[in-house]
Amino acid sequence: MKVGIDLGTTYSLISRLGPDGKPILIPDHSDKDIFATPSAAYITQGNAIIGSLVDTLLEQNPELPVLRFFKRKFGTGEPVYFDKSQNAWHAESLGALVLKKLQFDAESYTGSRIESAVITVPAHFNDLQRKGVIHAAAMADMPILGLVEEPVAAALHYGITHSTHGQVLLVYDLGGGTFDATVLSLDDKGVYVLAKDGLTELGGKEFDECVAAFVLEQFERTLGHTPELNAFTLLQLRRISEEIKIELSLPNVTFLRKTVLLGYQAIDITLNRKEFEKAIHESIEQTIAITLRCLDAAGLKEKDIDALLLVGGSSMIPYIRERLRKLFPDQKQKIFFHEPMKAVAYGASLHASQLSGDAAQFNIPPEFKGITGYNVGIKTLNPRTGRTEIDTLIKKNMPLPAKGSRTYYTHSDTQRKISLEVVQYLENSNDFIDIGTVTIGPIPNPRMNYAVEVTLSYTEDGVIRIAAFDPNTGVELEQEFGSSAGDDNMLLQQRKMVKGININNL
């Protein structure tokens, strides 16, 4: 069985293709009416509770240390939790637990083993974050065919569902924790990404926090003080804030009066849609600026877009559609929702069929062409100015796979290794992300000005690979990139921890 997985910040889904080639979601093993698994974990000694059962446990004990939004920490190398044995849990190992849960659901429901999977990532994920997802899959022993970007997966499903050919799409993907804007073209041969942009820490979580601040303000105004914010009241506040956000996003709901209980105190609060929109205005304007920047990077104007797809649960906020209509005044009939909660998972399973060679069997366009999401280069020191500079070898928005080469030299007769720092950046080379050090050597027959040709490659998954050559002989030189011995040991330890954990006491 080949599957597609939407590994989301707040919810995760898994899908496969049915006998007719149409994608279908696979339900939770314990409740066939649940298709979305909350990306939440509670770790105990030797066990982990994942998904909707976490919320059930919280009802009984709000003090439980439940882990959420760890997707935002992929690639940081920072622990996000220490269990009772003082084992450090990283975002990747928590993601692996979610993947193990989805794998169990799929295999118990279908009676088939997962042979391979395509996992989705935000379009703007950098190299470290993408490799974090790959590490998570390895820890979960899940064989992956590749990664696909979330808005691209949604557009692929849209194109196949609507038999769309010769159109240019703009995908506005606002989920629970991330935002992506992507411009694509579709034809009968496949999907071609033209430009992409995004922001990691912006989504429904921030909107919930805006509502929560308003609720607390009304409590203080009514009672003269806010409730004590302990684990119980924070759980209540999180849930009521999400409920209010969803209710204010329903059609024709512009005003809300609600009795809110925090701790053991209750008040009636009122909130109208305009107040909510004012609170989230700045965040929405950020997404609009990114969308326009993405459109500009594709070399297109608003009039060039045939359809604008709204994807992700948070995109269903009416204010977003109204704001986009002002940008696309001639495209009103072409701004619409396309399976906001499901399209990404559906598209991932379709992409799995493309990568596995099954596309023709299901009449799915076989081609898929992505682009680079970042400028990639080598950090150097200018000897004349003493300033750090970036040798950019691969530019943003180039077709994938992409390569770039540069020659570097040794500085002495005894230098046996060359170490170079690899970086990524979006617009400003001063605002770069260190993604690793490549160490080349030992150099045979070292001498002053020994030439080494370094080639950076951007794979179709958006992951960086490095090779080093002696340009005089064409011989490939030994090199290490991306992980130190300490990093390797950490990954090994994390994998052991994940393998030793029972999911939901199964």
Q: Do 129 and 54 fall into the same domain?
A: yes
CATH number of the structural domain spanning residue 89: 3.30.420.40
Task: Give the residue among 10, 50, 337 at the shortest CA–CA distance from 205.
Answer: 10
Q: How far apart are CA 480 and CA 467, in angstroms?
A: 9
Residues 129 and 225 in one domain: no
CA distance 99 to 326: 40
Pairing of strands 167-174, 307-311: parallel
Q: Do residues 117 and 143 touch, judged by C-beta distance below 8 A?
A: yes
Token pair 């929702």 is found at 337
Q: Are residues 430 and 465 in the same domain?
A: yes
Q: Does residue 485 fall inside a structural domain?
A: no
How would you write the pLDDT of the chain (506 residues) with one tens digit per residue? 999 999 999 999 999 999 888 999 999 988 888 999 999 999 988 899 999 999 888 888 888 999 999 999 999 889 999 988 888 999 999 999 999 999 999 999 999 999 999 999 998 899 999 999 999 999 999 999 999 999 999 988 988 888 777 889 999 999 888 899 999 998 878 889 999 998 888 988 999 999 999 999 999 898 888 888 888 889 899 999 999 999 988 888 888 898 988 888 889 988 889 999 999 999 999 999 999 999 999 999 988 998 899 999 899 999 999 999 888 877 655 888 888 899 999 999 999 998 888 877 777 877 888 899 899 999 987 777 778 889 999 999 899 999 999 999 998 988 999 999 999 998 887 889 998 899 998 888 888 999 999 999 998 888 899 999 988 888 888 888 865 444 667 788 888 888 888 887 54
335 domain-assigned: no
Q: What is the span of the domain harbouring residue 267?
A: 204-277
- What are the strands, taking DSSP E only, across 221-374? 255-262, 265-272, 307-311, 335-337, 367-369
In the beta sheet, which residues pair with residue 89? Answer: 81
- Cα distances from 474 to residues 392, 452, 468, in angstroms, run 23, 10, 10
Q: Does 102 lie in the same domain as 27?
A: yes
Q: Which one of 228, 249, 277 terminates a domain?
A: 277
Q: In this structure, are strands 144-149 and 116-121 parallel, antiparallel, or unpaired?
A: parallel
- Please report, in angstroms and rounded to a whole number, the separation of the first and last CA atoms in the chain: 22
Q: Which of 213, 175, 180, 214 is nearest to 199 (CA)?
A: 180
CB-count burial class (<10 Å; 0-12, 13-18, 19+) for 377: buried
Q: Of 252, 277, 302, at which residue does a domain stop?
A: 277
Domain count, the chain: 3
Do the Cβ atoms of 148 and 347 come closer than 8 Å?
A: yes
Q: Considering the entire predicted model, what is its pTM? A: 0.89
Q: What gap in Å lies between CA 169 and CA 362, rounded to an integer? A: 23
Q: Secondary structure of 113-163 in the HEC alphabet? A: CCCEEEEEECCCCCHHHHHHHHHHHHHCCCCEEEEEEHHHHHHHHHHHHCC
Taking Cα atoms as reference points, which of 16, 255, 34 lies closest to residue 145? Answer: 16
In a domain, 181, yes or no: no
Query: Within this chain, do residues 379 and 357 fall inside the same structural domain, yes or no?
Result: no
- What CATH code is carried by the domain that includes residue 399? 2.60.34.10
